[in-house]
Amino acid sequence: MDGFGTDCHATTVGFTVLTINPRGDDGTVGSGPSAPVLELRHVAKSFGHVVALRAVEMRVYSGEILALVGDNGAGKSTIVKILAGVYQPDDGEIRVRGTVVRRMNPRMAGLSGISTVFQDLGLVETLDVATNMYLGQPLTRFGIFAKRAAMYRGAAITLRDLQVRVPSVRIPVAELSGGQRQSVAVARAILVDHPIVLMDEPTAALGVRETRQVGKIIDNLKDMGKAVVIVSHDLEFVLEHADRVQAMRLGSVRGVRRRRDFNREEIVGLITGLVAGDDPSQARGDHLEVRS
């Protein structure tokens, strides 16, 4: 069978998804070549008396990997859940391609072109790989048997495009390794070809080989022009794959660094508070040359 790019998936498996195209008709991103596809402006979130986020600024661009790093309680996962529509911010704005999203929820996140891989993966172990990948995705153009055939075919094509190896798309997820499960969760998130992919701790509890495989998938997403946001405690993984690193501490942005400018010691210092944080405008990327 000839290879199919991800643009073919919706046609192959027979469903329609509303997405926000990250590029304009002239091929540029948003209103210009360096306009962010996703942006947080002055976002705050509290849970009772606990302040989770304090005036957080963030910009994400197509074709790049942004890593959110920080200690436990820094606010990294809260950012992901706000962007995924699980939490509502108490203050601030979420912008997708320059347009303010007034009330983000899971459905609106999908319509805005955002896919999320949560830390717990959300897979059903008793179901096979293909069924897990299509959970919540309607197949409406075929009869019942043709639907299943299209589902298995679409799952196999998607995994092949991501260079993910599993014994079969028909085996239960319970029989897969940790890295394979993570790969299936990522494949499910990008199956609808959304331009923005959020990943919360994608390498948690994985071995060296499985971590390397997940890293290749993330790099492939970048090469496909996706805007990728990863939350990770694995600084070695971050230093290898991220284009920019945004360091968080106690709900605040301490600094943003480009690949050629950051090193492990400085990032650790920003996370722990041993290195002074930047001016808040740095978190928006106002002074960052994003593209090399």
What percentage of residues in the chain have a pLDDT greater than 90?
40
Give tens-digit pLDDT for 142-185. Answer: 555 457 888 888 888 888 877 778 889 999 999 988 778 888 88
Candidate from 70-74, 93-97, 112-116, 121-125 with smallest mean pLDDT: 121-125
Q: Does domain 6-35+62-88+105-284 have CATH number 3.40.50.300?
A: yes
Residue 183: what residue type? S
Give tens-digit pLDDT for 30-53. Answer: 333 478 999 999 999 999 999 999
Q: What is the DSSP string of 86-143?
A: SS--SEEEEEETTEE-SS--HHHHHHTTEEEE-TTTT--TTSBHHHHHTTT----SS-
Alpha-carbon span 234 to 199, nearest angstrom: 13
Q: What is the pLDDT of residue 162?
A: 75
Q: What's the chain's average pLDDT?
A: 79
Domain boundaries, the chain: 6-35+62-88+105-284
On the CB side of 32, CA atoms within 13 Å amount to 5
Q: Is the per-residue pLDDT at 231 higher than 90? A: yes
What is the rounded average pLDDT of the residues 256-263?
Answer: 84
Structure tokens at 71: 């200690």
Statement: the pTM of the whole predicted model exceeds 0.75: yes
pLDDT band at 22 (very low <50, low <70, confident <90, very high): very low
Q: What is the pLDDT of residue 271?
A: 92
The DSSP code for 37 is S
